[in-house]
């Protein structure tokens, strides 16, 4: 005769992680930055960032000389109540890109569609004034 043993299931009221495990999760957090693909054609440099779940007003794109800075900020809404462990934290990030000499930052364009921020920086072989400007996101 075979004896079946059953394992006592975890009570729903018991926490998923004990305090030591939860503390370990909190200390392992890293700074999040969106992944980027950078490509070039004969006409432009294109930077694509994967940033789903935001809208175009969450971003700031700034050009200073040959450096392009892309920053994002989202109002953090805390969905955790009680002693739950919450790790979502995409509230603020920043990426810097060093641009080549022929990048015309004065003509930079940006679009945000379907969770992807696409920044197009035209190439220009003539003398390009270097200054500072903000890029509007369509």
Collapsed DSSP state (helix, strand, coil) of residue 61 = strand
Instruction: Answer positive or negative: Cα dihedral of 91, 97, 103, 106.
Output: positive
User: Residue 125: what pLDDT?
Assistant: 77
User: Residue 117: what pLDDT?
Assistant: 97
The structure's pTM equals 0.69
Q: Strand pairing partners for 68?
A: 63, 97
Mean pLDDT per 10-residue interval, the chain, length 138 residues = 46 50 48 89 96 91 94 72 62 90 92 96 80 84
Q: Which two tokens stand for residue 122?
A: 């035209």
Task: List, as one string, the DSSP characters of 31-58.
Answer: -----EEEEE-SSEEEEEEE-TT--GGG
User: Residue 43: what pLDDT?
Assistant: 95
User: Residue 38: what pLDDT?
Assistant: 95
> Interior CA angle at 85 toward 79 and 91, to 5°?
55
User: Residue 21: what pLDDT?
Assistant: 47
Phi, psi (5° rounding) for residue 105? -70, -20
User: Residue 9: what pLDDT?
Assistant: 44
What are the residue boundaries of the structural domains of the chain, listed by start?
34-135
- d(C-alpha 56, C-alpha 65), whole Å: 24
Yes or no: is domain 34-135 CATH 2.60.130.10?
no
User: Residue 77: what pLDDT?
Assistant: 60
User: Residue 89: what pLDDT?
Assistant: 57
């Amino acid at each position: 005769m075979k004896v079946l043993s059953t394992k006592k299931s975890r009570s729903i009221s018991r926490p998923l992680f004990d305090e030591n495990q939860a503390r370990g999760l909190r200390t392992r957090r890293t700074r999040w930055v969106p992944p980027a693909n950078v490509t070039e054609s004969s006409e432009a440099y294109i930077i694509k960032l994967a940033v789903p779940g935001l809208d175009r007003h969450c971003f700031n794109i700034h050009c200073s000389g040959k450096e392009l800075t892309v920053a994002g900020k989202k109002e953090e809404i805390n969905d955790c109540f009680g002693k739950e462990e919450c790790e979502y934290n995409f509230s603020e990030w920043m990426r810097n890109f060093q641009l080549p000499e022929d990048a015309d930052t004065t003509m930079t364009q940006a679009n945000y569609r379907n969770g992807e921020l696409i920044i197009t920086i035209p190439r220009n072989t003539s003398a390009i004034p270097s200054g500072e400007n903000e890029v509007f996101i369509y």
